[in-house]
Structures are given as C-alpha cells and as structure tokens.
Amino acid sequence: MTKVSDTAIYNRIIGRIKGKIEGPTLLFIGGMHGNEPAGIIALDKVLKDLKCKKDIFKGNVYAIAGNLPALQKGIRYQENDLNRLWIQENLNHIKDGVNDSSNPEFNELKDIYRTIENILEEEKGPFYFFDLHTTSSQTVPFITVNDSLLNRKFTSKYPVPIILGIEEFLEGALLSYTNELGYIAFGFEGGQHENPNAVDNHIAFIYLSLVFCGSISKNEIDFDGYFNHLSDNTRGLQSFYEIFKKYEIKPDEDFIMNPGFTNFQIISNGKHLANSNGKPILAHQNCRVFMPLYQAKGNDGFFLIRRIPKIFLNISKVLRTIHFDRILPLLPGVSWASNKKDELIVNLKIARFFTKKFLHLLGYRSRRIDKNYLRVKNREAASRDSEYENLF
Ligand SMILES: [Zn+2]
C-alpha cells in the first residue's frame, strides 16, 4: 500500500474543491488515528482526479487530515487517542484559550476544532461530515453512526452494514461532537489497516458520498462501478446492527484476543473469544463479534452486535416522528433534566420499564449516573432535519 509519507501529507487541509455552482459543504476527515492512512490516500487521489470537474461541481469539499504527527510516525497516537478527546470540557478549554501545548494530541484537537469552526463559519450548509477509519481485524467495509432518523435515512443509501449507536460506548469521538451540532455525520471503516482493498473501499465510499450529497451527478463518475465494488464486498451483511456489549480492558489487565476472528463473524454461545489474565472470556449468547482488538493500543477488547429487525426500525421511526417521548415525564419516576426538554432523568427504582431497548426505540442514548438513576439524551432533538429537507 502507498505509505502516507509518499503522498507528502503534512498539511491539515490535504485537498479542497470549490465548485462553480452553489451546493452543500462536505468535510471528510482521514487519519484521526495515525496508523490508518488509507482514508487520506483515498482522499488525496479522489480530489486530484476531480480537479478537472470544478465547472460542474456543486458546493465545497474539504479533505482534512487528523493526527498529523502520528500519521508521519505511522502510529495510532502519541499520548492520547485523538478520537476520544472531543468532550465538552476539552472544547470549552479551547474556546477559553487554555493552552496545553505539552500534549501533542491536545494540539491536534485544537487545530482540527478551529479548522472545522472556520469552515462552518465561512461556508454555507447543508454540512456533511465523514470520518474515515480502518480496523485492526480483517473486515468488510461498514458504517458507524449515531442513531438519529436523519443519519439512518442518509446512511441507508450505502450498500454496507450500518452499526447504530456506537456513541453510547465511545466517549469523546469527533462524530459525537458533530452530531451534537445536529449535522449528518458518520464514520466509514474501509477495511483492515494494511489491506490495499481499504484504499479502494474508501475511494468508492467518497465517490458515492459526493453523489448522495448532490455535489456531482451520477453520470459524471463510474457510479455503478463504485456502488457494486462496495456491494460485492458486503453481500449478506447489508443491514442495520446494534451494539449490545463492549468488552472494556482494565488498566492493568492482560487481554489477548484469540486469533482469527473477523469482523461480523457469527459466534455461538460458549465460544472462547479472548483471555483476560489467563482466564477465558466466553460468549454468553449467539451473536456476531465486532471490532476484535488485534493491536497493542486501545482498550476496547471487542464488541458484540446483533441485527436490528426491520419492524423495530419502523416502530421507532413512528414513535420518534409523533414525539411519543413527550408524554414520558407524566409517568412516575421520570422528569425532564432541564427546560430544553432533550434529556430525561429516570429513577430506575420506580420506572422499571426503562430498558435500553425502550430508550433506543424513542431515540434516546443512555448514560447511567448511578445504580438508581439514568440520564438519557434524545438524539433527535439536536438534529437539523429542516436543513436537509427534500435533499435526499
Ligand atoms: Zn480509527
């Protein structure tokens, strides 16, 4: 595979197209993890190939590089995972001008944050965010997305598996920040880090995204070729999935994933998945394994996922559209967290019907405060649905 240094990427903005016709603004981010250059290589290629089509191009495309020093070193990160730093406290520090120049990832966070802010200020919407990654295990390409109806509708255009609700398990991801702003924003995982196919998958994904956002017409590119490329890679898996378990590795734990698991692999109850301090970790039900960890850095050992039945997706769409959640505070043990009415506080001792499944149906993401209380936030409340109306 082309090394990232071969493409001489040392700038935050690695490419940009300003179309002659008005249109949306797309932000692609590659290399948030420095050991994942495939997205950057693909962006560099697509943007160069499209330079000659400026006259027929609608709106803007920005290709942004993530963790520059880590990319140059070919490592995931130096001190902190840049894709876990996008929490409100850190962003407030940037806004307040608090400087922590001793930490390389905090410097990257600050620079990318300002770059995004500038683009949001200077350009017109609608805005779309795409975060490009690769994984340590072998995988078919897939999408990870915060579960709002807007995100669901847009991502369902791609012929790849879609994983809903990863933000419940990962705090501080760039996408959680952009989703809080209400924009369409999601991640694309193009394949295994070193697999040359990961670059091709990213190229196909970028071209499809340009068409789905209306930046370029289908006829201007080999749309069917790119669509079929992704579709052929993901046959039998094109569906929505939910994560129901994350195995988190403790600070001093000796965790070893058993070799040979591929992403989305079906596993049966009792399957030996990994070892923790020499003791086996077994699956407790039939399901699929997701993102098994085969690299030294990171503390997400593996996730377990299951397919979401279509009926469940449809019911949740209806319940969210009629704002069913607005009657919940009438029930005992449930109250709004503030006047904004986008967050509920639930006393679990009283409101026992508040299961995770029920919350997901209504578009809420759960965060447990303690044994008795749950704080749940509505993903739909921030969604800028009207800005994308009739666009796709
Ligand atoms: Zn990554």
State pLDDT tens for residues 133-181.
999 888 999 999 998 999 999 999 999 999 998 878 888 999 989 988 9
Distance CA 350, CA 234 (A): 44
Q: For residue 103, is it within any domain?
A: yes
**Cα atoms in the 13 Å half-sphere on the side-chain side of 382:** 20
CA 199 to chain centre: 18
Is 330 in the same domain as 266?
no
Q: For residue 285, is it within any domain?
A: yes
User: Any idea which residue has 């992704």 for tokens?
Assistant: 230
Q: Which residues contact 286 (CB under 8 A, 6 or more apart)?
A: 266, 267, 268, 269
CA 300 to ligand 1 centroid distance, Å: 12
CA 31 to ligand 1 centroid distance, Å: 7
293, 300 Cβ separation under 8 angstroms = yes
First to last CA, the chain: 35
Q: For residue 312, is it within any domain?
A: no
Is 263 in the same domain as 365?
no
Is 162 in the same domain as 258?
no
CA 341 to ligand 1 centroid distance, Å: 33
Q: For residue 269, is it within any domain?
A: yes
CA 68 to ligand 1 centroid distance, Å: 14
Mean pLDDT, the chain, integer: 91
CA 84 to ligand 1 centroid distance, Å: 11
CA 131 to ligand 1 centroid distance, Å: 9
CA 320 to ligand 1 centroid distance, Å: 31
What pLDDT score does 250 carry? 94
193, 202 Cβ separation under 8 angstroms = no
Beta strands in 66-204 (DSSP E): 127-135, 142-145, 162-164, 184-192
CA-wise closest residue to 126 among 163, 154, 95, 103 = 154
Q: For residue 297, is it within any domain?
A: yes
Q: For residue 24, is it within any domain?
A: yes
Q: Domain boundary at 307, 331, 355, which?
A: 307
State pLDDT tens for residues 52-98.
888 889 999 999 999 999 999 999 999 999 999 999 999 999 988 87
Provide the whole-model pTM. 0.91
Distance CA 260, CA 309 (A): 28
Q: Residue 106 gets which letter from DSSP?
A: H
CA 384 to ligand 1 centroid distance, Å: 26
Is 66 in the same domain as 173?
yes
Is 56 in the same domain as 155?
yes
Torsion sign over Cα 216, 192, 225, 308: negative
Is 124 in the same domain as 66?
yes
Domain encompassing residue 245 = 240-307
Tell me the two tokens of residue 249.
Answer: 């590795």
Tell me the two tokens of residue 388.
Answer: 């994308």
**CA quadruple 363, 365, 370, 374: dihedral, nearest 10:** -20
Distance CA 106, CA 115 (A): 14
What pLDDT score does 4 carry? 56
Q: φ and ψ at 360, to 5 degrees?
A: -65, -40
pLDDT classification of 360: cutoffs 50, 70, 90: confident
DSSP three-state, residue 55: helix
Q: For helices 88-95 and 104-122, what crossing angle results, to 10°? A: 70
CA 291 to ligand 1 centroid distance, Å: 11
Q: φ and ψ at 320, to 5 degrees?
A: -75, -35
What pLDDT score does 237 carry? 93
Is 84 in the same domain as 10?
yes
Torsion sign over Cα 89, 92, 378, 159: negative
Residue 270: Cβ-neighbour burial (10 angstroms; 0-12, 13-18, 19+): exposed
CA 149 to ligand 1 centroid distance, Å: 24
CA-wise closest residue to 151 among 103, 107, 212 = 212
CATH number at residue 229: 3.40.630.10
Q: Domain boundary at 251, 283, 307, which?
A: 307
CA 116 to ligand 1 centroid distance, Å: 19
CA 289 to ligand 1 centroid distance, Å: 18
Mean pLDDT across 97-126 = 91
For residue 173, is it left (φ>0), alpha (ψ between -120 and 50) or beta? Answer: beta
CA 226 to ligand 1 centroid distance, Å: 23
Q: Domain boundary at 189, 211, 233, which?
A: 233
CA 133 to ligand 1 centroid distance, Å: 4
> How many structural domains are present in the chain?
3
- The count of other CB atoms within 10 Å of the CB of residue 36 is 26
Mean pLDDT across 8-12 = 75
Tell me the two tokens of residue 246.
Answer: 């994350």
CA 363 to ligand 1 centroid distance, Å: 26
CA 311 to ligand 1 centroid distance, Å: 32
CA 34 to ligand 1 centroid distance, Å: 8
Is 82 in the same domain as 146?
yes
CA 215 to ligand 1 centroid distance, Å: 26
CA 146 to ligand 1 centroid distance, Å: 16
Is 228 in the same domain as 244?
no
| Of 368 and 6, the one with more pLDDT | 368
CATH number at residue 291: 2.40.50
Is 282 in the same domain as 224?
no
Distance CA 81, CA 85 (A): 7
What pLDDT score does 23 carry? 95
CA 358 to ligand 1 centroid distance, Å: 30
CA 225 to ligand 1 centroid distance, Å: 26
Q: For residue 387, is it within any domain?
A: no
| Of 363 and 225, the one with more pLDDT | 225
Distance CA 306, CA 264 (A): 9
Q: For residue 286, is it within any domain?
A: yes
Is 120 in the same domain as 168?
yes
CA 274 to ligand 1 centroid distance, Å: 21
Q: Residue 80 gets which letter from DSSP?
A: S
Is 89 in the same domain as 15?
yes
CA 178 to ligand 1 centroid distance, Å: 16
What pLDDT score does 352 carry? 77
CA 163 to ligand 1 centroid distance, Å: 15
Q: φ and ψ at 382, to 5 degrees?
A: -80, -20
